[in-house]
Amino acid sequence: MAVQAAPPQQQQLQQVEEGEHVGPQPVSKLESHGISANDVKKLSEAGYHTVESISYAPKKALVLIKGISEAKVDKIQSEAAKLVPMGFTTATEFHQRRSEIIQLTTGSKEFDKLLGGGVETGSITEVFGEFRTGKTQLCHTLAVTCQVKDYTLVYIHTHERDYVCCTVADRH
State the pairing for strand pair 152-155/2-6.
antiparallel
Range in 11-25, 27-41, 114-128 with the lowest mean pLDDT:
11-25
In which band, very low, low, confident or very high, does the pLDDT at 17 lie, cut at 50, 70 and 90?
A: very low
Q: Tell me which of 22 and 153 has the higher pLDDT.
A: 153
pLDDT digit string (tens) for 73-106?
Answer: 999 999 999 998 777 789 999 999 999 998 988 9
Nearest Cα residue to 152 out of 10, 2, 1: 10
Mean pLDDT of 137-160: 80
CA dist 63 → 73, 137, 138, 159 (Å) = 6, 52, 50, 49
Q: Which domains does the chain have, with CATH numbers?
A: 2-15+90-171 (no CATH), 26-83 (1.10.150.20)
DSSP 32-83: GGT--HHHHHHHHHTT--BHHHHHHS-HHHHHTSTT--HHHHHHHHHHHHHH
* Kind and range of the H or E run holding 3: strand 2-6
Categorise residue 144: left if φ over 0, alpha if ψ from -120 to 50, beta otherwise: alpha
In which band, very low, low, confident or very high, does the pLDDT at 31 lie, cut at 50, 70 and 90?
A: very high
- ∠ at Cα 58 (60, 74), nearest 5°? 75
